[in-house]
């Protein structure tokens, strides 16, 4: 147990990929019911007790839900390294608690400002609390998933604009792995290959996505994506375009004998000439 003068323990709360609470790097065993309380408080900083109770126990009355929350908070405070702080009617994580979700949020904000922070492509790679199906978990999971997708696409665009094609491709492929049917990362991959002058890679990537979309959703890529390859595919389309029937018939007809030329008429003799 910490004593007066001891440094505060380093507390880390991990919610991406599964719940884990660490004190100075050592995992802490937390009952599932209390995990839900800690996780929600981490995701909804500064929420009122009534709001937290309603999300955690939506099927019960407000009075009973608030009573359950008071009991849970009392149990958590028995731990001298409790990660929570109360301020009047609100509850939040302590100021020194590190939350892994914050890394994704901060990275996304920096990318929106035009920065390309190191390691941003790997931020938030794992889903929020997999296997949890509370309504508030599903909502937060989708919010973070969309946040990461947009961050990766913006990051790829920033790298592409700066001519860093390798980093741009890495971010675009991360977004593609997160949502294979989403068109934007596939479109970015095609643009990156074209910027590098790799026409084959660009065309290949386009048709891989087209086949996937047709197989899974019976849809075609958007006109915006198809237009990316108009200039590249134009010579191929011209070469494979069928000839008009008359031209094809003329080209296959055997040459006949030369047509005889008409003889010139004999010169006329003027009258009265001896």
Domain positions in the chain? 11-99, 180-240
pTM of the model: 0.80
Please tell me which residue, 8 or 75, carries the higher pLDDT value.
75
Q: Which tokens belong to 34?
A: 């209390």
E strand or H helix that includes residue 21: strand 20-23
pLDDT digits (tens, 9 = 90+) for 122-159: 899 999 999 999 999 999 999 999 999 999 999 999 99
Residues facing residue 98 across a β-bridge: 12
pLDDT digits (tens, 9 = 90+) for 14-47: 999 999 999 988 999 999 999 999 999 999 988 9
How high is the mean pLDDT of the chain?
A: 87
Integer Cα distance of 160 and 244 in angstroms: 43
Q: Is 31 helix (H, G, I), strand (E, B) or coil?
A: coil
> What would the mean pLDDT of 245-257 be, rounded to a whole number?
58
DSSP 15-34: -BTS-EEEETTEEE---HHH
What is the number of other CB atoms lying within 10 angstroms of the CB of residue 54? 17
CATH class of 11-99: mainly alpha
């Amino acid at each position: 147990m910490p004593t007066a003068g001891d440094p505060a323990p380093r507390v880390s709360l991990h919610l991406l990929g599964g719940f884990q609470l660490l004190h100075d790097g050592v995992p802490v065993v937390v009952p599932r019911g209390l995990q839900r309380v800690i996780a929600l408080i981490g995701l909804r900083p500064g929420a009122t007790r009534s709001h937290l109770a309603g999300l955690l126990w939506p099927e019960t009355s407000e009075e009973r839900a608030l009573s359950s929350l008071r009991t849970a908070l009392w149990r958590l405070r028995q731990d001298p390294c409790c990660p929570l702080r109360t301020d009047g009617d609100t509850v939040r994580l302590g100021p020194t608690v590190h939350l892994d979700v914050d890394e994704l949020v901060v990275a996304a904000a920096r990318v929106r400002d035009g920065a390309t922070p190191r390691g941003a492509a790997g931020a938030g790679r794992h889903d929020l609390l997999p296997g949890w199906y509370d309504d508030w978990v599903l909502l937060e999971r989708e919010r973070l998933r969309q946040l990461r997708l947009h961050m990766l696409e913006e990051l790829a665009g920033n790298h592409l604009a700066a001519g860093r094609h390798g980093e741009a491709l890495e971010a675009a492929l991360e977004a593609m792995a997160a949502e294979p049917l989403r068109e934007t990362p596939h479109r970015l991959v095609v643009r990156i290959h074209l910027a590098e002058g790799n026409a084959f890679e660009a065309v290949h990537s386009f048709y891989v996505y087209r086949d996937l979309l047709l197989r899974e959703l019976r849809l075609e890529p958007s006109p915006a994506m198809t237009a990316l390859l108009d200039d590249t595919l134009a010579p191929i389309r011209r070469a494979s375009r069928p000839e008009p029937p008359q031209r094809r018939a003329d080209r296959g007809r055997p040459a006949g004998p030369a047509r005889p030329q008409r003889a010139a008429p004999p010169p006329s003799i003027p009258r009265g000439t001896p």
